[in-house]
A and B are shown apart, each in its own frame.
Chain A
Amino acid sequence: EAGVTQSPTHLIKTRGQQATLRCSPISGHTSVYWYQQALGLGLQFLLWYDEGEERNRGNFPPRFSGRQFPNYSSELNVNALELEDSALYLCASRDRGQGTYGFTFGSGTRLTVV
């Protein structure tokens, strides 16, 4: 069974540009979560999508947005990039029936803003 896949692995953008990160959940998983791991800050919750809808949002500005497609894959968009957006962005998926312990993470996208 394929795990959670994220693309690209690395992304370098210039301040002010937009970045698009992609996540494919484990087959059958309907919930997708996005986390940001900035240096020294641990994993900060960004967004949660389930069945195509945004269910919850962390304490991030509106320039962080995303969507979930009918096949449950998801996209995270970061507009007007700032230097402090440089971080590892992790996606996790979960099967509705698995509860809290069902989180499975991808390997992440390393975003560098220069």
Chain B
Amino acid sequence: DQQVKQNSPSLSVQEGRISILNCDYTNSMFDYFLWYKKYPAEGPTFLISISSIKDKNEDGRFTVFLNKSAKHLSLHIVPSQPGDSAVYFCAASAYGGGSQGNLIFGKGTKLSVKP
């Protein structure tokens, strides 16, 4: 049973436009969510996170929105740049940002930003 779902395996957008990556989760105990970016032949790198007590977190061109009632979060990238082309993973934790436990990841969405 997949607890974190990224239903779009791929997304293609034009440079300068908005990229919206979606993530759904099923476990009501999740209270901390993260997005990671992964380039080929590299490990995932942390991008942005959000606690369940918030509905929005912004960091430069990246904004994460959380809709707890829908168990849905999204990552917005504005404006999209060719260097953003990578696989984006949504991850969740059940014990908050201070947890020492493991993260549960989605399958990832491959973003392609075309010049």
A contact set with B: CB distance below 8 Å: 4, 31, 33, 35, 40-45, 48, 50, 55-56, 58, 90, 92, 94, 96, 99-101, 103-108
- Asked whether, in the complex, the Cβ of A35 is within 8 Å of the Cβ of B101, the reply is no
Chain B positions 68-115 with a Cβ under 8 Å from a chain A Cβ: 89, 91, 93, 95-108
Q: CA separation between A106 and B42, bound complex, in Å?
A: 7
Q: Are the C-beta atoms of A100 and B98 separated by less than 8 Å?
A: yes
Supposing A101-B34, A107-B43 touch, asked if A41 and B107 sit within 8 A by C-beta, the answer is yes
- Could you tell me the dominant secondary structure of chain B's interface residues? loop
The proximity string for B residues 28-53 relative to A, scoring 1 for CB distances below 8 Å and 0 otherwise, is 00001010100001111110010000
Q: Tell me the complex Cα distance, A22–B12, Å.
A: 36
A56 and B101 contacting across the interface, CB-CB below 8 Å = yes
Q: How far is the CB of A5 from chain B (nearest CB, A)?
A: 10
A sample of 8 more A-B contacts (CB under 8 A), given A43-B89, A100-B49, A100-B97, is A43-B44, A43-B105, A48-B101, A48-B102, A55-B100, A55-B101, A100-B34, A107-B42
What residue in chain A is nearest B41 (Cβ atoms)? A107
Chain B residues engaging chain A, CB cutoff 8 angstroms: 6, 32, 34, 36, 41-46, 49, 89, 91, 93, 95-108
A90-B43, A108-B43 known; A103 and B103 CB under 8 Å? yes
Q: Could you tell me if B99 and A99 are in contact, using CB atoms closer than 8 angstroms?
A: yes
Q: Considering the complex, give the chain B residue whose CB is closest to the CB of A34.
A: B102
Check A100 against B45 for contact (C-beta < 8 Å).
Answer: no
Can you list 23 pairs linking A and B with CB atoms under 8 Å apart? A4-B43, A31-B100, A33-B102, A33-B103, A35-B105, A42-B108, A43-B105, A44-B105, A48-B102, A50-B100, A56-B101, A90-B43, A99-B98, A100-B93, A100-B95, A100-B96, A100-B98, A100-B99, A100-B101, A103-B103, A105-B36, A105-B44, A106-B43
